Amino acid sequence: MATRTEVLGAPLARTGPLERVRSRPAILLGGSVVALFVVLILGVALGSVAVAPADTVAILAHRLLGLDLGATWTPAAETIVMDLRLPRVLAAMVVGLGLAVAGVTFQGILRNPLADPYVLGTASGAALGAAIAVLIPIRIALLGFGLVQVLAFVGALLAVTVVYRFSRTGTLAPLTSLLLTGYAVGSLLAAGLAMTMYLSGTNLRQIFYYLLGGFEGTSWSQVLLTAPIILLATIAILARARSLNGFLLGEETAAHLGVDVRRERAILLGLASLITAAAVSISGLIGFVGLVVPHVVRLVVGPNARWVLPLSAIIGASLLAAADLVARLAGGIPVGVVTAIIGAPFFLVLLRRARTGYEL
């Protein structure tokens, strides 16, 4: 056995700090909630015009909680905090949370460690929707939502629906069929996107900007419309953590363990797709958060979805808000670039591990 262990890499640590965290994931959850608040304060305080963290806390406490902390601040600082930075930070958090939760769900249901929230065509559906919206000369704005956001949301959901319907051939929709259908539909939509971009002329930059992803100019109404969708769907997924656990050993075993496979798969995929669609509608395409965060969390606490889901949610929220902060401080580079620069090397390491550790 020893030789086998050596060949396959080090066994999970049995002692040491990692082990202690693994046996008490509540500590990790507490720690990540603290990190989330730190990122929130920093994200609102830092920027081209810095607002002192103490003032930031005071403004937030005053405006959100009605508390008077005895500090004074300028009206300009209040405008920056409340109207410009807070919605942006909250949007990044909600999107990061959503993408991480959707990632856990897609990876769990599809039993594929390389699945991400975009695996079933959401990304290409949203991209095509957004690109078409850019080309349509009508400008509507409803509660802060332009045609781009609306068509991205609709495109994402349509793409997933088409993929799911097409993949359902036999009695049990096989996962391979789902993945391959996702790939095929994704390719078709990507061709549509390429064609749209080719025809877009001067609007190319606007489409390109959407594809890179970001939170520039996110409004309160966008946050307030998408946050409930993402948070409610997240709670609904959390309530089904037991089913998600059942899928660990495959659909047939899930059924034997007590999971109504067809129903739970449809509900969980539907909720995760809804989250993804809501997230991409306000942020564009942001990669790697939904892929990487669930893996990091699983490495620490193991596969139990009851812990992986809430931890991924909190860490995903902190991470994307932090990435957006870095993007802003670096002079407004797209946040998708930041997550890719952090995420891609991590992903490469993961792939190296995949040769030995993962069985696909």
Partner 1 sequence: MSAVDTPVVELVGVDAAYRERVVLSGIDLSIAPGERVAIVGPNGAGKSSLLRVVTGTLRPSAGRVTLDGDPVERLDRMAIARRLAVVPQAGALPFAARVEEVVGLGRLAHEDPFRGHRPADRAAIAAAIERVGVGGLLGRDARELSLGERQLVLLAMAVAQAAPVLVLDEPTVHLDLRHQVETMDLLVDLNRRDGTTIVAVLHDLGLAAHFFPRLVLMAHGRIVADGAPDNVLVDDRIREVFGVDPAFVRRSGGQTGVSAIDGVPASR
Q: Which residues have CB under 8 Å from 46's CB, separation 6+?
A: 325, 328, 329
Q: Which string of b and e fits 82-116 if b means at least 16 CB within 10 Å?
A: beebbbbbbbbbbbbbbbbbbbbbbbbbbbbbbbb
- Does 258 contact partner 1 by CB under 8 A? yes
> Using CB under 8 A, which of 257, 267, 333, 342 touches partner 1?
257
- Does 246 contact partner 1 by CB under 8 A? yes
- Does 299 contact partner 1 by CB under 8 A? yes
Q: Classify burial at 122, counting beta carbons within 10 Å of its beta carbon; exposed 0-12, middle 13-18, buried 19 or more.
A: buried
- Does 248 contact partner 1 by CB under 8 A? yes
Supply 237's token pair. Answer: 């997924």
Supply 253's token pair. Answer: 């075993």
- Does 332 contact partner 1 by CB under 8 A? no
Closer residue to partner 1 (CB): 113 or 336: 113
Q: How many residues bind partner 1 (CB under 8 A)?
A: 39
- Does 253 contact partner 1 by CB under 8 A? yes
Closer residue to partner 1 (CB): 2 or 65: 2
**Could you give the C-alpha distances from 335 to 73, 221, 331, in angstroms and in order?**
30, 21, 11
Whether the CA torsion 271, 273, 278, 283 is positive or negative: it is positive
> Residue 250 region, left (φ>0) first, then alpha (ψ -120 to 50), else beta?
left
Supply 28's token pair. Answer: 């990790």
> Using CB under 8 A, which of 239, 330, 344, 348 touches partner 1?
239
User: CA-to-CA distance for 338 and 150, rounded, in angstroms?
Assistant: 26
CB of 352 to partner 1, least distance (A): 15
- Does 303 contact partner 1 by CB under 8 A? yes
Collapse the DSSP code of 147 into the 3-class scheme (helix H, G, I; strand E, B; otherwise coil) and give the result. helix
Site for partner 1 in 82-121 (CB under 8 A): 107, 111-113
One character per residue 167-206, x = contact with partner 1 (rule: CB under 8 A): ----x-----------------------------------
One character per residue 130-169, x = contact with partner 1 (rule: CB under 8 A): ----------------------------------------
What residues make contact with partner 1 under the rule CB under 8 A? 1, 4-5, 8, 11-12, 14, 107, 111-113, 171, 239, 241-242, 245-246, 248-250, 252-253, 255-261, 298-299, 302-304, 306, 357-360
